Each structure stands twice: as C-alpha cells, then as structure tokens.
Amino acid sequence: MTHFDAIIIGAGQAGPALAGRLTNAGMTVALVERKLFGGTCVNTGCMPTKTLVASAYVAHLARRAADFGITLDGGPRIDMARVKARADTVSAKARAGIEASLRGMPGCTVIRGQARFESPRVIRVGQKHLTAPRIFVNVGGRASVPDMPGIESVSYLTNTSILALDRLPRHLVVVGGSYVGLEFAQMYRRFGADVTVVEMAPRLIAREDEDVSESVRQICEDEGISVRTGARCISLWPHDQGVLVSVECADGPPDVVGSHVLLAVGRRPNTDDLGLDSAGVATDARGYITVDEGLATSAAGIWALGDCNGRGAFTHTAYNDFEIVAANLLDGAHRRLSERIPAYALYIDPPLGRVGMTETQARAGERPLLIGRRPMTRVSRAVEKGETQGFMKVVVDSETQRILGAAILGTGGDEAIHGVLDIMNADVPYGVLQRAVPIHPTVSELIPTLLGDLQPSR
Ligand SMILES: Cc1cc2nc3c(=O)[nH]c(=O)nc-3n(C[C@H](O)[C@H](O)[C@H](O)COP(=O)(O)OP(=O)(O)OC[C@H]3O[C@@H](n4cnc5c(N)ncnc54)[C@H](O)[C@@H]3O)c2cc1C
C-alpha cells in the first residue's frame, strides 16, 4: 500500500490543475490516468474539433472569395490528410505539455492505468494499491451508443473514431442534431461531403429557443446540409453503398443512405468501471456521481469534478469545479456550484454564444420581462465581414433590472457574449452595460444598443 495525501483519478480538465494546487500546498499527490493526458477536450473534444472547424472555415471562405473581390483559379482542394495532421499536431502538443508538467511537478506521482475503488480510501491500479484521506474523481465521459435497431449490424463513427478519418466520406449521415453533431455536420459539408443530419426531436438543438433552432437550421440548409427532424424511429442497416439509415420522419423519404454514419446522440459518464459501490459513492439513474454545492460526493473525503458529476458538460465547467474545490479546501473559501452562471458556445459558423436562461425558460417563470432582439444584418461589423446570418437576443427581468440570459448567433458571437456574461457575474443592473462605450466596429458594440431597445413582453 502506498500512502499519499491525495489521489486524483483522471488527467482531464480539473485533475492536472488540482494536482498543481495540492502539491503547491505541500501535499503528496498520486494522479492516475488510464489513457490520454488532457482527456476529452485535448484529444477528442474541443481542441481537435475547433482546429478542424478552422480548416473548414478557410475552405468556406475560399469558395466565397469572389464575394470579397478576390479571384482564385478554381475552387479549393481539400487535403484531408493534412487537415487531420494539423488537428493531430495541435492535440499532441497540448497532450505532451500536460504530461510533461505533471511528470515534472514536485510531489506528484503519475501512475498509468485504470483506477478502481477497493474501499472508500483505497484505489487499485493494476497490482498497485494506493491510499489517501482525500480522493478526487475526474473521470469524464464518453460517447453514448444508443440501443437502436440494427446498430450491431453496421460500422459507425463516434466523435472519437471520426477523428481518425483522413479521407472524405462521400455522404456522412450525422445521427443527432445537437451541439457535437452540428459541428461535425458543417465542417464535413465544408470539406466537400454530402451531409444529412437526422434528429429525433422536432427541431435542431431543441434545448435552445425556437428562433435559435430555426436560424441554425437555415444556416445548415443554406450550405446544402440536408436536415431531417422528427425522426420517430431511427434504425441502421448494412447497404452496398455504406449504411442505410431508416428515419421515419414526418416529411421526406423514409431512408437515407450514407457512406458513413456518425453517432452524436449524447454522452455518458465513465463511472461504470470505477467500483463506486465499494466506496459508497452514490450516482443518479444515468450514472452521474451525485455531488453537493462544494462537489463533495455522498462518501466523506471523496469529491467528483467535471463531466462525471453531471453538473456541467464543458471544459470551463470542469475547470471551475477545480477552482471551487481548491478554494474551499486550501483557501478557506465557501464557493458554491450554484453561483456559476451557465455559459457555452456552439461552434458552427457563425457561432452561437449563450449565457443564462433561454427566452423559453424565462417565460416559464412569473417574472416581468423585457426582451431585445436584433438581426446581424443590422450589425456593421457583420455587414463589413459579409457574414450577416443570425441574430442577437437578450432577456431582462424588468423589476430587478438584471439580465437573465442572452444568445448571440452570429459572427464573433462566441466572444461578444462575454460582455453579457461579465455583467451578469458582476450582478449589476443592465443599465451599467447600456451606458458603456464599446469599440467600433465590433459585434459587442451593439449590445448596449440592444439594451436600449428592450420591449416589455409581459
Ligand atoms: C466532440 C466534442 C467537442 C467538444 N467541444 C467543446 C468545446 O468546444 N468547449 C467546451 O467547453 N467543451 C467541449 N467539449 C466537452 C469537453 O471536452 C468536456 O466537457 C471536458 O473534456 C470534460 O473534462 P473532464 O475533466 O470532466 O473529463 P475528461 O476530459 O473526459 O477527462 C477524464 C479523464 O479521466 C480518464 N479516466 C477515466 N476513467 C478513468 C479511470 N477509471 N482510471 C484512470 N483514468 C480514467 C480518461 O482517460 C480521461 O483522460 C466537447 C466534447 C466533445 C465530445
């Protein structure tokens, strides 16, 4: 049995930073990683996908070059092997950096292998037994593979295996019209594949407001992506040209034949092989580890951070879990999970930046609301860039004068949304932002204008 002050399971987005804080505080730490340093974000999530999105954007702009007065001889040719190599390099560099920093961290012992609880204080990794009074679980999640008819009879891609493709699929069928699926759908369309998105719900990204879903659908369809929503029963069958996806939609033909199928239908936590029962760590019905406001689990001395606790599904939420745990343990703070204002982006182009409540969520409450909406066609910067798709919207509580939520679907929306996020975090009336003097010409400069044009909606 080897003794440590703390054990961290998983080198994803919370574990390495936590190892740094704990060892700086003088603790000995064992960090266990079974696969790739940096976890999902670095290896199969944010980093490779946003690198691919950047390549796809270049292809898209090259096709539009004439719109900007630039003449290219012929359309762009996409070298998928080089596109892939670029994404691989970005990920590999980040992965190597994280591993090197952990291995060079005084007081940190890096252990490779699958960690499993033997008891509330003991972790087994292969033949090794480790014990510590504090154990931090940062095991992340993986793609769900739904139990749809015929699934075992075909080969399919997930967000991980699609990254190994170095040739363009002839026709990619994306099952799942939400955040992960739409990013892949648009990038592959821009690389030159035929793309069909199949979604069970009546609309894309069904958690967003209807106007956002509609606008995103329009953006996809304008680029030639075929969108099939309301697919009541999806099944997959072998076909001599690849895979036949039976969709049973309200409209359109009942089948789609693709050369490749990507399953993008959600994620599940990596908690089924951790031995959580032996430690008395409770999970919910979907396997997410139940945590309190400080990320503590049902077992004393065990915390769960990142995607595995089901309280966030993003790199920034996993990192914020680390910040909460570290501040409470080491700085005597009393930070709470519920203080976090939800914010995220969908990285199609143009991107969707989101913060706080949707309009639908706000309307479901009793509060009096003010709502502002502005199309990107009325944003100078968007006009100048020739990227006028989308709109921005903000929802305000008219009594408290606080912004409840906002969406910016448009060029620069993933950056511009931070002005709204900052004012929400500052917890001051929206008038403070309305009186600000932003830089011209930017997308952000229209946020004060939007706030000056709010309409009562209840
Ligand atoms: C395609 C895609 C795109 C994404 N894009 C974005 C984005 O743009 N922005 C964003 O904020 N988020 C994005 N995400 C989500 C983001 O990647 C995750 O929210 C984030 O990686 C979660 O971090 P984590 O630390 O909780 O877990 P992970 O990063 O998944 O790390 C968990 C680590 O634990 C290890 N592990 C698991 N079980 C064990 C065990 N028993 N023993 C030892 N080690 C173990 C795993 O190998 C892994 O390295 C994306 C996700 C996907 C799939």
pLDDT at 253: 79
Ligand 1 atom at shortest distance from the alpha carbon of 143: 53
Å from CA of 151 to ligand 1 middle: 25
- Residue 223, token pair as written in the block: 């680029």
User: 353 CB under 6 A from ligand 1?
Assistant: no
Name the residue among 429, 400, 428, 403 with its Cα closest to residue 417: 403
Q: Nearest C-alpha to atom 2 of ligand 1 is from which residue?
A: 45
User: 270 CB under 6 A from ligand 1?
Assistant: yes
pLDDT at 219: 98
Tens of pLDDT, residue by residue over 306-343, are 999 999 999 999 999 999 999 999 999 999 999 999 99
Å from CA of 259 to ligand 1 middle: 28
Å from CA of 275 to ligand 1 middle: 20
* Peptide bond connecting 441 to the previous residue in cis, omega within 30 degrees of 0: yes
User: 33 CB under 6 A from ligand 1?
Assistant: yes
Tens of pLDDT, residue by residue over 186-242, are 999 999 999 999 999 999 999 999 999 999 999 999 999 999 999 988 999 999 999
The whole-number average pLDDT for the span 384-389 is: 98
User: 178 CB under 6 A from ligand 1?
Assistant: no
Could you give the count of Cα atoms lying within 13 Å of 246 in the half-sphere of its Cβ? 11
User: 8 CB under 6 A from ligand 1?
Assistant: no
pLDDT at 233: 86
**What secondary structure letter does DSSP report for 404?**
E
The whole-number average pLDDT for the span 283-291 is: 98
Residues 6+ apart with CB under 8 A from 137: 9, 10, 274, 281, 289, 297, 302, 303, 304, 305, 308
Q: Nearest C-alpha to atom 52 of ligand 1 is from which residue?
A: 45
User: 187 CB under 6 A from ligand 1?
Assistant: no
- For residue 372, give the 3-state DSSP assignment: strand
Tens of pLDDT, residue by residue over 231-269, are 988 999 999 999 999 987 667 778 999 999 999 999 999
User: 321 CB under 6 A from ligand 1?
Assistant: no
Ligand 1 atom at shortest distance from the alpha carbon of 115: 42
pLDDT at 232: 83
pLDDT at 320: 98
**What secondary structure letter does DSSP report for 36?**
-
Beta bridge partners of 235: 246
DSSP per-residue letters across 119-180: ETTEEEETTEEEE-SEEEE---EEE-----TTGGGS--B-TTGGGG--S--SEEEEE--SHH
Cα–Cα dist 77/438, whole Å: 40
**What secondary structure letter does DSSP report for 226?**
E
| 445 pLDDT above the threshold of 90 | yes
Residue 418 annotated in active site:
no
pLDDT at 458: 76
Hey, how many other C-beta atoms are within 10 angstroms of the C-beta on 376? 25
Question: If you average pLDDT over every residue of the chain, what do you get?
Answer: 97
User: Which of 35, 36, 41 has most ligand 1 atoms within 8 Å of its beta carbon, as the pocket-test mutant?
Assistant: 41
Cα–Cα dist 332/326, whole Å: 9
pLDDT at 252: 76
pTM over 0.95: yes
Q: Give the H/E segment covering residue 17.
A: helix 15-24
Q: Give the H/E segment covering residue 246.
A: strand 242-246
Q: How many residues does the chain have?
A: 458
Cα–Cα dist 444/308, whole Å: 34
Cα–Cα dist 276/297, whole Å: 11
**pLDDT band, very low/low/confident/very high, at 116 (cuts 50, 70, 90):** very high
pLDDT at 166: 92
The three-point CA angle 249-389-169 to 5° equals 50
- For residue 85, give the 3-state DSSP assignment: helix
Hey, how many other C-beta atoms are within 10 angstroms of the C-beta on 230? 16
User: 11 CB under 6 A from ligand 1?
Assistant: yes
User: Which of 142, 161, 314 has most ligand 1 atoms within 8 Å of its beta carbon, as the pocket-test mutant?
Assistant: 314
Tens of pLDDT, residue by residue over 44-53, are 999 999 999 9
pLDDT at 374: 98
Tens of pLDDT, residue by residue over 167-187, are 999 999 999 999 999 999 999
Say which of 171, 334, 418, 440 is annotated catalytic.
Answer: 440
Q: For the chain, what percent of residues have pLDDT higher than 70?
A: 100
pLDDT at 323: 98
